[in-house]
A and B are shown apart, each in its own frame.
Chain A
Amino acid sequence: MAAGMTPDPLKLAIRVYPVPDRGDERKRGKLRHWRRPRYMLALDAETGIDTAQALTLGSYRFYEDGICLEESLFCGDDLRRADRAILETYVQTHPAATDRRRGVPQLRLLSREEFCEKLYQVAFDLRGLIVGFNLPFDLSRVAVDFGAAKDRRFAGGFSLVLWDYANESGERRINKYRPRIAIKHIDSKRALKGFTGTREADLVDLIPEGSESGEPEDDYKFRGHFLDLRTLAFVLTDRGHTLDSACKAFGVEQGKIAAVHRGDVTPGYIDYNRRDVAATAELAFKLLDEYDRFDVDLQETQAYSPASLGKAHLRKMGIAPILRRQTFEKRYLGYAQSAFFGGRTSAHIRKVPVPVVYTDFLSMYPSVNALMGLWKFVTAENVCVVHMEVSETVDILRTITAEKLFDPATWSTLTAFARVIPSGDILPTRAKYSLESNDYQVGLNYLSADGDDPKDGLWYALPDLAASVLLTGRVPRVVEAFRIVANGQLRTLRPITLRGAVEVDPWRDDFFRKVIEERKRLASDTNLSDEERERLDKALKVLANATSYGIFAEMIREEGAQKIPVTCYGIDPKPFRCEVLNPEHAGEYCFPPLASLITAAARLMLALLERCVTDLGGTYAMEDTDSMAIVATQRGGLIECPGGADHKRAKPAIRALSWAQVDAIAKRFEALNPYDRSAIGGSILKIEDDNRDPKTGKRRQLWCLAISAKRYALFVCDRNGEPALLREGVNNKEDRYSEHGLGHLLNPTDPQSDDRSWIAQAWLTIVRRSLELPTKALRFEKRVAVGRTTVSSPAVMKPLRALNDGKPYAKQIKPFNFILTCHVRPLGHPIGVDPERFHLIAPYETDARKWEMMHWIDQYSRDGKRYRITASGPHGSRRLVRVKSYGDVLREYEYHAESKCADIDGKPCGKQTVGLLQRRHIAIDGFDYIGKESNKLEQVKEGGVPAESDVYTVYADPRRDEWDTLLPVVKRIPLPELERDSNLDRRTLQRIRSGRQRPHAANMARLKVIASKFLRRALP
């Protein structure tokens, strides 16, 4: 530990390997008789622009074997008479775009009910493919009612009622003899969809698909074939698409056309809708054609991510998941899971623009996989645990140097885990580094344990320990270690051809290596058309990424209303039991030892780069998983920077490396190139193309301004010192300014527009300010910062129920409607509310002028309390909430603290900290076991779920319950003192002190502080 540094006590969060009582490993559903349906119905619905976003019009096309046989329009039940007349005239004057010989030539106009009948016929009777782009939204437009899904598979989702009937007295009634459609939102690209069961199903509906006997089966439920092209495009490209971008990416000829949407029905708008359906259908054929090239045993309607595709390829190669083909002691899974951390990412020079060379590792995860030889574990007949002597582990670590790590053979010796008692070692730590952000972040810090008890030691993957040795020069205190060893090879292995073009033989090829090599070979293959080369390149990239990491770390969160008993494997040899609401179970190919080794090895690679840079006296501006912006200029030299150890003009400075030095560092990484040099020559550390002018190809000086992890921008400066951000199509191949933390906000100048250039505008202002150049106030600074999210679950819908009461479905806020969300400014909360449990949402409104006049609803209040908002004034009042303006958000963004790092004095980085940061010193102050970090984080970002604390599952280990030690102290504190300092009422405190009530996490933390003060006072 650096002299004079006092470590900050922090409670850590450690990942646990949970096994819910109802079974940790669910069998993959048997694929029965799947054959792509001959029939397909593509649809798209348009809505009004009011809060209800009710159906106005829509259209569908019905296809048999790719031939369009029917096209019709449909309209909402309560469409204005004038709008209906326009539709009626339209269908009389426009033919249907159907097959000339076999199709119905007339375009027809159907009511919503008639359309739903058609939908039922195709989706349920015909078992056809229902295709749309963002299907949940379209299906909820044509529904007549909704509820919470009851089926466990769809728990936490909606069930939509599409089919109703008029009874004898003309009242509409739900048709209970028809299924509902259950939809469970996963994230913005994916949702589970399926039919629910029906009452008294017809015998013909109980005949399974593809049945050769035609025999009904009592327990058979047809779930439907709902194909959301948004999901399939994501599966095939690993990126989110709009209909427009997907059409462009897959060469759809009849792509989307632009239209100004005012919610009224016009012939132009009908044309627009029909064109969307045509584009959707063509896109479906293109995507299915692309999907078929993979030739995997996976229904396209069941493919939810590139990982699904990756897993299907492993199955095709005859590779069963490790945990399903053998027994593996679960405590080792727990050890490995506790050693799991995400990628290394942080700002190192904060809010000071510095010249950099931007570097990036070639396919980081596949590369470290190949270096460590992890493929042999994936294909091993048996993976076993071998205990290592402490001395053996220490010997390995003692020999770690940069030179040793540049020997590829070293990496394959690192497939081990060790339990260490940290004592100022640089290790990944997951903690809530600041009270403000209140979320878990992973930092690479000096870590020290409180005591010397081996039981308090933490498990780390050996690459993390090697990185610590590399950066500190000291070997951590190891108390226990084990290695994983791969024995033999599976006999079930089979060679496959990836996307019909690249042959992989799992017996002799390292899959990860082969895919990356073939990707590079493609670039020079003249036998392929440009389009085919591009598609194949993308496909291989998706496969490499999908199979090289995520599937081994996959944990699936279960949604439910009841607590479930779980057996948890953590850092101790014996598991503990607890009950949690949303437990996780391991994904199909989940194998924590591999997941932890892969990310640890990636961190080691960055540590090695850091060491190379610092050995030359240099430093870096930021790092992000597989990239680093190294401070460098053409000739190198000193650059003024607060916190720097050098001096320039009597001011602190840092040393910039020369471009030649950075090139030499990159050259050193050539030794770690695990690929066939004929395919991929050179170093795996790439000097990115961003460092070259796209027009001239000449090297250029990049600058970097980093604020905190994942918040940075790269830019160039002209001769006059005027900055220009790196922007796609302007001066670079890609945008190089982060949208992290801003992406969820609506465009402040045009809320309906998807144009994100306002973020570039904001970044440029921040950059200019950091360069002390004049800036103009942004036009939108004073506007209320509003984000858009969707009503993705019944829980989000709950506070909106009051707005729906007594209204017909069309007028209600429906599932998957957009809603508005805004963020309350500090001290802006209304009087009397708990800021932790207060979050405002409002029905969707595109007119920004109305936002401050509307009623906003507290998502947490049981009765849906309503408030007004304002973006001016210092604070809120009883019914008025002071929310953040875009200016507030951007200021917060600009001053967002990198709290996992320390300033040059060793204090936690605060909002005002600028300059060179350093690692914090952390003392372990206990820990919590948590589930996966990425649960619903997308929704948190969008504002759909107010706090991270709502999405983490904490698994309380009764053996490490600090409340047991805290309670006796709390009992000793006089009640009036407790009442005064804790803000809790007397009755609650009495219940807590008597042991009848356990305090909430926040109250527990408060009581802890009071108790420690009391003890300090009480102890002599």
Chain B
Amino acid sequence: MAQRSNDPIGTAVRKSKTRRRVGQGVICSQCGESRAEALVARSRPKLCMQCYAVRRGKKTTETHHFAGKANSKITVEVPANDHRTLSDAQYEWPAGVLSNTGASPLLAAAAFLNGTADFIENLIVNSIRYVADFLRRLDTWLRERAGQFWWRGTEFDGWQPG
């Protein structure tokens, strides 16, 4: 989420500390989740929130305050890993929007819009980009096993671009 931060140093510190706590270059040993926010710092082996919840027999979803607690009581049920990412993204909102200490209706509306944008972005990353990433990895897998031009002579031959 490469949006402009009002406090780039604060943002970098938060992300850096999160990454340091879980370890550099570490992913979930079960599902391959790589987002530092979603990993459980002291788990052994390293697990993400969802896999950690599965191991402990808990549910893998959490309720997310879509516009922040100060702006609305509305929550949505999201996967635990996404909840971490979405909550972290809320810190990037312009100063005062998340906390909305004066209960301004306009700031609350702004929070809703920010929350929506974050949610859509998360959706894109986790669904559409996820599929794109899956296809790329599958292509690599097939090249290793069936050769550089694995699709030739198969029913996928016609899918070749150009």
Q: Contact residues of A with B, CB < 8 Å?
A: 33, 39, 62, 64, 69-70, 101-104, 118, 121-122, 125-128, 204, 207, 210-214
Pairwise interchain contact B13-A121, C-beta atoms closer than 8 A: yes
How far, in Å, is B14 (CB) from chain A's closest CB? 9
CB neighbours of B32 from chain A (8 A)? none
The verdict on A212 contacting B23 (CB below 8 Å), with A103-B4, A104-B4, A204-B17 known, is: yes
| Beyond A39-B16, A102-B8, A211-B24, 17 extra complex contacts between A and B, CB < 8 Å | A62-B8, A64-B8, A69-B8, A102-B5, A103-B8, A104-B7, A104-B8, A121-B9, A121-B10, A122-B12, A126-B9, A126-B16, A204-B17, A211-B20, A214-B21, A214-B23, A214-B42
CB neighbours of A213 from chain B (8 A)? 23
A-B contact pairs, 8 of them (CB 8 A): A101-B4, A102-B3, A104-B7, A121-B13, A125-B17, A126-B13, A204-B21, A210-B24
Judge whether B41 is part of the interface by a CB distance below 8 angstroms: yes
The verdict on A212 contacting B9 (CB below 8 Å), with A104-B4, A204-B20 known, is: no
How far, in Å, is A718 (CB) from chain B's closest CB? 63
Q: Which of B6, B12, B21, B22 contacts A126 (CB 8 A)?
A: B12
User: Could you tell me the distance between the alpha carbons of A127 and B22 in the complex, rounded to whole angstroms?
Assistant: 16
**Number of chain B residues close to chain A: CB under 8 A:** 22
A-B contact count (CB 8 A): 61
Pairwise interchain contact A207-B8, C-beta atoms closer than 8 A: no
Considering only residues 20-70 of chain B, those with a C-beta below 8 Å from chain A are: 20-26, 41-42
CB neighbours of A64 from chain B (8 A)? 8, 12
How far, in Å, is B24 (CB) from chain A's closest CB? 5
Q: Contact residues of B with A, CB < 8 Å?
A: 2-10, 12-13, 16-17, 20-26, 41-42
Pairwise interchain contact A118-B23, C-beta atoms closer than 8 A: no
CB neighbours of B25 from chain A (8 A)? 212
Pairwise interchain contact B9-A214, C-beta atoms closer than 8 A: no
User: Could you tell me the distance between the alpha carbons of A344 and B82 in the complex, rounded to whole angstroms?
Assistant: 73
CB neighbours of B12 from chain A (8 A)? 39, 64, 122, 126, 128
B2, B4, B8, B17 — most chain A CB neighbours (10 Å): B8
CB neighbours of B13 from chain A (8 A)? 121, 125-126
How far, in Å, is A764 (CB) from chain B's closest CB? 55
How far, in Å, is B124 (CB) from chain A's closest CB? 19
Pairwise interchain contact B5-A211, C-beta atoms closer than 8 A: no
**CB-nearest residue of chain B to A127:** B16
Q: When A and B form their complex, which 6 residue pairs have the shortest distance between CB atoms, in order from nearest?
A: A69-B8, A214-B23, A125-B13, A212-B23, A207-B20, A121-B9
How far, in Å, is A912 (CB) from chain B's closest CB? 67
CB neighbours of B3 from chain A (8 A)? 102
CB neighbours of A211 from chain B (8 A)? 20, 23-24
Pairwise interchain contact B5-A69, C-beta atoms closer than 8 A: yes
The verdict on A212 contacting B4 (CB below 8 Å), with A70-B9, A126-B13, A204-B20 known, is: no
User: Could you tell me the distance between the alpha carbons of A856 and B8 in the complex, rounded to whole angstroms?
Assistant: 48
CB neighbours of A214 from chain B (8 A)? 20-23, 26, 41-42
Pairwise interchain contact B23-A102, C-beta atoms closer than 8 A: no
How far, in Å, is B34 (CB) from chain A's closest CB? 13
**CB-nearest residue of chain B to A67:** B8
CB neighbours of B20 from chain A (8 A)? 204, 207, 211, 214
How far, in Å, is B156 (CB) from chain A's closest CB? 39
User: Could you tell me the distance between the alpha carbons of A126 and B21 in the complex, rounded to whole angstroms?
Assistant: 13
A69, A118, A128 — most chain B CB neighbours (10 Å): A69
User: Could you tell me the distance between the alpha carbons of A207 and B18 in the complex, rounded to whole angstroms?
Assistant: 11
How far, in Å, is A836 (CB) from chain B's closest CB? 53
The verdict on A118 contacting B8 (CB below 8 Å), with A212-B23, A212-B26 known, is: no
A33, A70, A103 — most chain B CB neighbours (10 Å): A70
User: Could you tell me the distance between the alpha carbons of A213 and B44 in the complex, rounded to whole angstroms?
Assistant: 9
CB neighbours of A69 from chain B (8 A)? 5, 8-9
The verdict on A212 contacting B24 (CB below 8 Å), with A104-B8, A121-B10 known, is: yes
CB neighbours of A121 from chain B (8 A)? 9-10, 13
User: Could you tell me the distance between the alpha carbons of A126 and B7 in the complex, rounded to whole angstroms?
Assistant: 14
How far, in Å, is B43 (CB) from chain A's closest CB? 10
A39, A210, A214 — most chain B CB neighbours (10 Å): A214
User: Could you tell me the distance between the alpha carbons of A212 and B46 in the complex, rounded to whole angstroms?
Assistant: 10
User: Could you tell me the distance between the alpha carbons of A101 and B5 in the complex, rounded to whole angstroms?
Assistant: 10
**CB-nearest residue of chain B to A204:** B17
The verdict on A62 contacting B9 (CB below 8 Å), with A125-B17, A127-B16, A214-B42 known, is: yes
User: Could you tell me the distance between the alpha carbons of A69 and B15 in the complex, rounded to whole angstroms?
Assistant: 15
CB neighbours of B9 from chain A (8 A)? 62, 69-70, 118, 121-122, 126
User: Could you tell me the distance between the alpha carbons of A103 and B25 in the complex, rounded to whole angstroms?
Assistant: 27
CB neighbours of B8 from chain A (8 A)? 62, 64, 69-70, 102-104
**CB-nearest residue of chain A to B41:** A214
User: Could you tell me the distance between the alpha carbons of A210 and B25 in the complex, rounded to whole angstroms?
Assistant: 9
User: Could you tell me the distance between the alpha carbons of A447 and B3 in the complex, rounded to whole angstroms?
Assistant: 78
User: Could you tell me the distance between the alpha carbons of A33 and B19 in the complex, rounded to whole angstroms?
Assistant: 15
User: Could you tell me the distance between the alpha carbons of A101 and B4 in the complex, rounded to whole angstroms?
Assistant: 7
CB neighbours of A212 from chain B (8 A)? 23-26
How far, in Å, is A223 (CB) from chain B's closest CB? 16
User: Could you tell me the distance between the alpha carbons of A213 and B9 in the complex, rounded to whole angstroms?
Assistant: 25
User: Could you tell me the distance between the alpha carbons of A787 and B99 in the complex, rounded to whole angstroms?
Assistant: 58
CB neighbours of B17 from chain A (8 A)? 125, 204
How far, in Å, is B19 (CB) from chain A's closest CB? 9
Pairwise interchain contact B21-A207, C-beta atoms closer than 8 A: yes
User: Could you tell me the distance between the alpha carbons of A192 and B137 in the complex, rounded to whole angstroms?
Assistant: 48
CB neighbours of B10 from chain A (8 A)? 121
User: Could you tell me the distance between the alpha carbons of A103 and B3 in the complex, rounded to whole angstroms?
Assistant: 9
**CB-nearest residue of chain A to B16:** A126
How far, in Å, is B28 (CB) from chain A's closest CB? 13
**CB-nearest residue of chain B to A68:** B8
CB neighbours of A101 from chain B (8 A)? 4
Pairwise interchain contact A125-B16, C-beta atoms closer than 8 A: yes
CB neighbours of B21 from chain A (8 A)? 204, 207, 214
User: Could you tell me the distance between the alpha carbons of A210 and B42 in the complex, rounded to whole angstroms?
Assistant: 16
CB neighbours of A103 from chain B (8 A)? 4, 8
How far, in Å, is A780 (CB) from chain B's closest CB? 49
CB neighbours of B22 from chain A (8 A)? 214
How far, in Å, is B21 (CB) from chain A's closest CB? 5
How far, in Å, is A281 (CB) from chain B's closest CB? 15
**CB-nearest residue of chain B to A128:** B12
CB neighbours of A127 from chain B (8 A)? 16
How far, in Å, is A589 (CB) from chain B's closest CB? 32
**CB-nearest residue of chain A to B3:** A102
CB neighbours of A70 from chain B (8 A)? 8-9
CB neighbours of A102 from chain B (8 A)? 2-5, 8
**CB-nearest residue of chain B to A63:** B8
**CB-nearest residue of chain A to B17:** A204
The verdict on A104 contacting B26 (CB below 8 Å), with A125-B13, A125-B17, A127-B16 known, is: no
CB neighbours of B42 from chain A (8 A)? 214
User: Could you tell me the distance between the alpha carbons of A269 and B2 in the complex, rounded to whole angstroms?
Assistant: 35
User: Could you tell me the distance between the alpha carbons of A204 and B20 in the complex, rounded to whole angstroms?
Assistant: 7
User: Could you tell me the distance between the alpha carbons of A781 and B125 in the complex, rounded to whole angstroms?
Assistant: 76
How far, in Å, is A216 (CB) from chain B's closest CB? 9
User: Could you tell me the distance between the alpha carbons of A204 and B5 in the complex, rounded to whole angstroms?
Assistant: 24
User: Could you tell me the distance between the alpha carbons of A893 and B17 in the complex, rounded to whole angstroms?
Assistant: 60
How far, in Å, is A43 (CB) from chain B's closest CB? 13
User: Could you tell me the distance between the alpha carbons of A121 and B16 in the complex, rounded to whole angstroms?
Assistant: 11
User: Could you tell me the distance between the alpha carbons of A128 and B2 in the complex, rounded to whole angstroms?
Assistant: 20
How far, in Å, is A806 (CB) from chain B's closest CB? 36
CB neighbours of A122 from chain B (8 A)? 9, 12
**CB-nearest residue of chain B to A208:** B20
User: Could you tell me the distance between the alpha carbons of A101 and B94 in the complex, rounded to whole angstroms?
Assistant: 15
User: Could you tell me the distance between the alpha carbons of A213 and B25 in the complex, rounded to whole angstroms?
Assistant: 10
B4, B25, B26, B41 — most chain A CB neighbours (10 Å): B4
CB neighbours of A204 from chain B (8 A)? 17, 20-21
**CB-nearest residue of chain B to A124:** B13
B5, B16, B25 — most chain A CB neighbours (10 Å): B16
User: Could you tell me the distance between the alpha carbons of A122 and B7 in the complex, rounded to whole angstroms?
Assistant: 12
How far, in Å, is A212 (CB) from chain B's closest CB? 5
**CB-nearest residue of chain B to A35:** B24
